[in-house]
C-alpha cells in the first residue's frame, strides 16, 4: 500500500505545469477502437488509469507505444474479445468500450465498470440509449453482453446532462446508420476533446460543448490525431494550494476558461491572482472571505473540485456553505478534516464550514481520488506531520504530484510499503 508523509506549512514558489486531462484521455483511448488505423494522442498523462487502459487495448490486440507523453495506438490487429473484470472493475471509464466496440462490431462483452465510491453511479442512461439504438443487452451478473445487428441512429434527451453517457453515445453513433441527436447533452470540455479526435478520424460530430450534439453516421474511419486538453481539475487543485501556500506560484498550461467558476469564487472571496495567457500566478491570501458553493454541471462549479476546495473553506474567515448536487456520497473526507482540527457540520450532501481553524498533522485516509486531494491540501497547510494512506486513489488522477510539489518547495514523501 502506498502512503504520503507530508511536513506541512511550506511556502511554494516556482512553476507547476499542468498535465493532460484524465477525464479526457480515459475516453480518447477506448474511442480509438472505432478505427482499424493508427491514432496518435499527445500530452497523455502518465497516470495509473492510462496504464490500465493500455493493458485493456493490448488485451484487444492493439499495438501501443507510450513515450514522452505521446501515445501511438495501431489497431490493425484488434479483435473483439470480452473486456474482463480484472481491468474493467479498476476504472469507471471502462464503460467507454461499450460505445466503441458496439459502434465498430455491433457486439461487445464487458464486465461492470469500477470507479470511485462517491455514490450509486448508475449507467441507466447509457444502457437506455444503446437499447434505443437497437441493441439487445443481457446483464449476466457482473458483465454485460451487447448485440446490435444494425446499430441505428437515435434522438435522445438525457434526464441529467451526463458526461459519460454523452461521450458513450457520441462514440457509438459515429458508425451508426443515420443521424443521432443528443439533447440536454453534457458540455464538459472533455466531450469536445473526444469529438476532435473522432472528427480527425473522419467522423461527423457537430455541437460538442453545447447541450445539443448531432452525429451523422459514416461508413468507416481512418487514422486519428488529438492533443489531450490540460486537466482542469488538476489545475484547479493547484490553484487552491497556491491560494493557501503560494509565493508567486506559477501554474502553467492551464485553460483558464475551463476553471472560470473556481477563479470567480476565489476572486469574490478576496484571493488575488494574475492570469497571463495560459499561466496563473498566485500567492497565499492572508484573508479569505467565506463562500457559498454548490457543485453542478459544466460550466458551473465542478463536483471534482468540491473536496479540495472544502479544505480551503476551513481557512476562510467565517461560515461557508457547501452543497454537493451531483453525487450523494462525496463528503467522506469531512471526518478526517475534523479530526485534523476543522469545524465542519455535514448533513447528507450539505456542509457548514466554520473557519478559520488551524489544522494539525494526523494519520488520515484517502477514501477516493478527490478526497485524496482534499487530504493532500490539508496536510500541506497543517502544522506538523500528516500521513495519508490509500494514496493509490490520488495517483490515479494526478501525474507526478509529489515531484511537482516538491520541486516548488513542498516536503512530501511517497512511501510504498510493498518496497
The contact set with ligand EPZ (CB under 6 A) reads 22-23, 26, 92-93, 116, 119, 121-126, 160, 162-165, 186, 303-304, 326-327, 369-370, 397
Q: Is 316 a catalytic residue?
A: no
Q: Evaluate the CA torsion angle 252, 42, 57, 219 in order and state its sign.
A: positive
Q: Least distance to ligand EPZ from the beta carbon of 120, Å? A: 6
Using only the alpha carbons of the chain, give its radius of gyration. Answer: 21
Residue 322 or 327: the one with the smaller Cβ distance to ligand EPZ is 327
Q: Least distance to ligand EPZ from the beta carbon of 45, Å? A: 12
d(CA 205, CA 195): 6
Q: In the complex, which residue's CB is closest to ligand EPZ?
A: 164
Q: Least distance to ligand EPZ from the beta carbon of 299, Å? A: 12
Q: Least distance to ligand EPZ from the beta carbon of 297, Å? A: 7
Which entry of 44, 93, 111, 116 is annotated as an active-site residue?
116
**Which three-class secondary structure string do you get for the chain?**
CEEEEEECCCCEEEEEECCECHHHHHHHHHHHHHCCCEEEEECCCCCHHHHHHHHHHHHCCCEEEEECCEEEEECCCCCCCCECHHHHCCCHHHHHHHHHHHHHHCEEEEECCCCCCCCCCCCHHHHHHHHHCCCEEEECCCEEEEECCCCECCEEECCCCCHHHHHHHHHHHCCCECEEEEECCCCCHHHHHHHHHHHHCCCEEECECECEEEEECCCCCCCEEEECCECHHHHHHHHHHHHHHEEEEEEECCCHHHHHHHHHHHHHCCCCEEEECCEEEECCCCCCCCCEEECCCCCCCCHHHHHHHHHHHCCCCEEEEEECCCCCCCCCCHHHHHHCCCEEEEECCEEEEEECCCCECCEEECCCHHHHHHHHHHHHHCECEEEEECCHHHHCCCCCHHHHHHHCCCEEEEEECCC
Residue 92 or 104: the one with the smaller Cβ distance to ligand EPZ is 92
What are the beta bridge partners of residue 130? none
Residue 119 or 409: the one with the smaller Cβ distance to ligand EPZ is 119
Residue 283 or 295: the one with the smaller Cβ distance to ligand EPZ is 295
Residue 25 or 280: the one with the smaller Cβ distance to ligand EPZ is 25
- Phi/psi at 288 (nearest 5 deg)? -125, 125
Q: Least distance to ligand EPZ from the beta carbon of 331, Å? A: 14
Angle at 197 between CA 79 and CA 97, to 5 degrees: 35
Residue 2 or 22: the one with the smaller Cβ distance to ligand EPZ is 22
Q: Least distance to ligand EPZ from the beta carbon of 50, Å? A: 12
Q: Least distance to ligand EPZ from the beta carbon of 182, Å? A: 13
Positions marked catalytic: 116
Amino acid at each position: 500500500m502506498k502512503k504520503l508523509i507530508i511536513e506541512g506549512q511550506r511556502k511554494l514558489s516556482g512553476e507547476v505545469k499542468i498535465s493532460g486531462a484524465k477525464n479526457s484521455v480515459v475516453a480518447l483511448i477506448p474511442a480509438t477502437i472505432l478505427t482499424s488505423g493508427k491514432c496518435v494522442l499527445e500530452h497523455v498523462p502518465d497516470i495509473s488509469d492510462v496504464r490500465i487502459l493500455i493493458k485493456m487495448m493490448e488485451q484487444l490486440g492493439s499495438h501501443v507505444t507510450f513515450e514522452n507523453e505521446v501515445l501511438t495506438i495501431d489497431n490493425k490487429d484488434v479483435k473483439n474479445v470480452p473486456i474482463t473484470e480484472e481491468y474493467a472493475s479498476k476504472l469507471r471509464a471502462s464503460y467507454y468500450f461499450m460505445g466503441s466496440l458496439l459502434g465498430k462490431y455491433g457486439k461487445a462483452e464487458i464486465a461492470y465498470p469500477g470507479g470511485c465510491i462517491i455514490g450509486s453511479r448508475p449507467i441507466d442512461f447509457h444502457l437506455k440509449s444503446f437499447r434505443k439504438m437497437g441493441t439487445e443487452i443481457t446483464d449476466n451478473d457482473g458483465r454485460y453482453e451487447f448485440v446490435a445487428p444494425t446499430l441505428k441512429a437515435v434522438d435522445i434527451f438525457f434526464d441529467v446532462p451526463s458526461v459519460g453517457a454523452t461521450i458513450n453515445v457520441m462514440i457509438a453513433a459515429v458508425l451508426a446508420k443515420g443521424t443521432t441527436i443528443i439533447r440536454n447533452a453534457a458540455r464538459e470540455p472533455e466531450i469536445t476533446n473526444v469529438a476532435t479526435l473522432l472528427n480527425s478520424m473522419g467522423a461527423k460530430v457537430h455541437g460538442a460543448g453545447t447541450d445539443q450534439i448531432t452525429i451523422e453516421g459514416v461508413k468507416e474511419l481512418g487514422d486519428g490525431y488529438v492533443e489531450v486538453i490540460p486537466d482542469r481539475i488538476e489545475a484547479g487543485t493547484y490553484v487552491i494550494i497556491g491560494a493557501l501556500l503560494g509565493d508567486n506560484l506559477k501554474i502553467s498550461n492551464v485553460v483558464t476558461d475551463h476553471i472560470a467558476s473556481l477563479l470567480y469564487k476565489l476572486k469574490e472571496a478576496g484571493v488575488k491572482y494574475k492570469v497571463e495567457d495560459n499561466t496563473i500566478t498566485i500567492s497565499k491570501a492572508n484573508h479569505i472571505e467565506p463562500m457559498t458553493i454548490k457543485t453542478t454541471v459544466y460550466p458551473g462549479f465542478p463536483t471534482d473540485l468540491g473536496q479540495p476546495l472544502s479544505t480551503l473553506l476551513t481557512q476562510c474567515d467565517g461560515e461557508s456553505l457547501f452543497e454537493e448536487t451531483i453525487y450523494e456520497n462525496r463528503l467522506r473526507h469531512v471526518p478526517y478534516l475534523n479530526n485534523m482540527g476543522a469545524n465542519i457540520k455535514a448533513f447528507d450532501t450539505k456542509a457548514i464550514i466554520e473557519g478559520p481553524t488551524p489544522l494539525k498533522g494526523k494519520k488520515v485516509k484517502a477514501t477516493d481520488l478527490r478526497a485524496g486531494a482534499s487530504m493532500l491540501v490539508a496536510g500541506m497547510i497543517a502544522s506538523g506531520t500528516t500521513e495519508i494512506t490509500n494514496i493509490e486513489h490520488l495517483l490515479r488522477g494526478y501525474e507526478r504530484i509529489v515531484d511537482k510539489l516538491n520541486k516548488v518547495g513542498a516536503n512530501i514523501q511517497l512511501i510504498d510499503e510493498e518496497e
